[in-house]
Amino acid sequence: MDITRHAGQAPLWRNLAFRLLNQRAILVGRVVSEALAVEGTHRHQFAALATLDAFGAVSQAELCRRTNFDRSDMNAVVLRSRQKV
């Protein structure tokens, strides 16, 4: 007897590679977010810092382009980071 959470789904759907990869990506994202939260940060802040480390000092607009963040999201990241300093 299959007692897994998805036992009621069709095996073809349940075992599709893209679906399994998507589930793993969600899980990894959750684990990373939780680990960063322990350190008092967020993955957007980590992405911004990693980008600055890789490319040096750049404008906020360039940082948005390199991280693929919306300007308003980047503004929130910068404001949140300044409040912690």
pLDDT score at 53: 96
Provide the pLDDT for residue 56: 95
Q: Over the stretch 10-66, which tens digit does the pLDDT of each residue have?
A: 766 767 888 888 889 999 999 999 999 998 888 889 999 999 999 999 999 999 999
Q: How confident is the model at residue 2 (pLDDT cuts 50, 70, 90)?
A: very low
Residues near 19 by Cβ (< 8 Å), separated by ≥ 6?
13
Q: Distance (Å, rounded) from C-alpha 55 to C-alpha 5?
A: 44
pLDDT tops 70 at residue 5: no
User: What's the length of the chain?
Assistant: 85
Quote the pLDDT of residue 22: 87
Both tokens assigned to 2 = 């299959």
Q: Where are the alpha helices (DSSP H) in 1-85?
A: 11-14, 17-38, 43-55, 60-67, 71-84
